[in-house]
Amino acid sequence: MTSTTQLDTVLDKDDTPFRRFTPLELRGLLVDGEELAVFDVRETGVHSRDGHILLSVSLPLSHLELSIASLVSRRNTRIVLYDGGDNVLAERAAKKLAELGYSNISILSGGTAAWREAGYELFTGVNVIGKAFGEFVEHFYSTPHLSVSEVKSRIDAGDNIVVLDSRTLPEFQNFSIPGAIALPGAELVYRFHEVVKDPNSLVVVNCAGRTRSIIGAQALIDAGVPNKVASLENGTMAWLIEGLELDSGKSNFAPLPTGSALEEAIAAANRLKARFGLKTIDKQTLNHFQNEQDAGLRSPLALAQPSLYLLDVRGQEEFAAGHLPGSRLAPGGQLVQQTGQWVGTRNSRIVLVDNADGVRAAITAAWLVRINWAEVYILEEALTGENSS
């Protein structure tokens, strides 16, 4: 294994080349358990079409200056950049990062071409890890699913059935299954009892394809709802393939839970905390984490401290109405499927912010620990009147 000293960047005042890693060396870094940010600096379309390294994040050179500070806040984080193979884009990105004060920058020599030649796999598409995780979840938990024809026949027969759409609100408003209710991501468990009053109702969770349907259905099962729950196999895509019509422009979004519905949601969150050993911290501990982070920001040569990502898992309107200073909006369901959109550093520290009840944070944390994220914490009593802005 390459030593930590050898991992230092070798860019000096004479602009000598950045350190190069071979595919074998990068593969070792990806499994050593230490913080690491690996970025594909090609355009996102190329990243998706031509294939990318599984644990890397798409960060096009054209977006680098706008996005890097939120993806990698600690300036001495180990960063490895790659492109399609000629290293031209990677070199330009490395120089730009150095100008921005990042001090531990390396390049994968030969990029994806060398990675493939070394016998390692490249993955096409977007959100590959999230999609693969969804398939694993369905297989591991035997998450029930129903075909479009089964669901449509039950709806037509007047069966006691509720369809919950786990996609984002803009997606739902663009097109949706007739009669469906929008409950994006972590909102499924949070608002469930506000809209599903009959424990005998069959609940079907849909998305556009598979992943969010599976994750949403399994989240409800994990939460212990009394209803039978299934995912809609292949989602709205299959609905269209069957020649069925979708609604457009609907805004059938479930309200925030109150009374017994909120009590049920909190009880579900507590069960998840116990089952998965979810960790909570108070504001004093968060302040300590932030002070550690600030030390690294002030001095790139400071003793490495864990990178901190303070992420608010509520909805956009709630976030806009008031949020914890320094936090970023990362709705729970989207964060699980698209972690790299908010978190650029693997093996870093994530603190989840939610309303005082913490239900959506618990749902989100329960998934993040199952994708083996190193440190995940729920901030207790995160948002009260005196600490939101």
Task: Give the tens place of pLDDT for each residue, 73-125.
Answer: 889 999 999 999 999 999 999 999 999 999 999 999 999 999 999 999 999 99
Contact 167, 207 (CB under 8 A): yes
- Name the class of domain 5-125: alpha beta
What are the residue ranges of CATH 3.40.250.10 in the chain? 5-125, 129-259, 277-379
Residue 63 main-chain phi, psi, to 5 deg: -110, 0
- Work out the percent of the chain whose per-residue pLDDT is above 70: 92
Query: What is residue 126's predicted lDDT score, i.e. its pLDDT?
Result: 93
User: What does pTM read for this prediction?
Assistant: 0.91
In sequence order, the 6+-apart residues with CB closer than 8 A to the CB of 266 are 357, 358, 359
Residue 236 scores a pLDDT above 70: yes
Residue 210 scores a pLDDT above 60: yes
Over the chain, what is the mean pLDDT? Answer: 92
Beta strands in 77-234 (DSSP E): 79-82, 105-108, 145-146, 161-165, 181-182, 202-206, 228-232
Q: Which of 59, 60, 41, 38 is nearest to 120 (CA)?
A: 38
Banded pLDDT at 292 (limits 50, 70, 90)? confident
Query: What is residue 14's predicted lDDT score, i.e. its pLDDT?
Result: 38
Query: What is residue 192's predicted lDDT score, i.e. its pLDDT?
Result: 98
Residue 1 scores a pLDDT above 60: no
Banded pLDDT at 382 (limits 50, 70, 90)? confident
Mean pLDDT for the stretch of residues 332-356:
95
Banded pLDDT at 374 (limits 50, 70, 90)? confident
Q: Return the higher-pLDDT residue of 337 and 13.
A: 337
Q: How many CA atoms lie within 13 A of 330 on its CB side?
A: 26
Residue 5 scores a pLDDT above 90: no
Residue 185 scores a pLDDT above 70: yes
pLDDT digits (tens, 9 = 90+) for 293-303: 776 566 555 55
Mean pLDDT for the stretch of residues 308-329:
96
Sheet holding 328-329, edge to edge: 279-281, 375-379, 349-353, 308-312, 328-329
Query: What is residue 387's predicted lDDT score, i.e. its pLDDT?
Result: 54
Banded pLDDT at 4 (limits 50, 70, 90)? very low
Domain 129-259 has CATH 3.40.250.10: yes
Query: What is residue 304's predicted lDDT score, i.e. its pLDDT?
Result: 60
The alpha carbon of residue 364 and the mean position of all alpha carbons in its chain are separated, in whole angstroms, by 9
Which of the listed CATH numbers 1.10.40.30, 3.20.20.70, 3.40.50.10610, 3.40.250.10 matches domain 277-379? 3.40.250.10
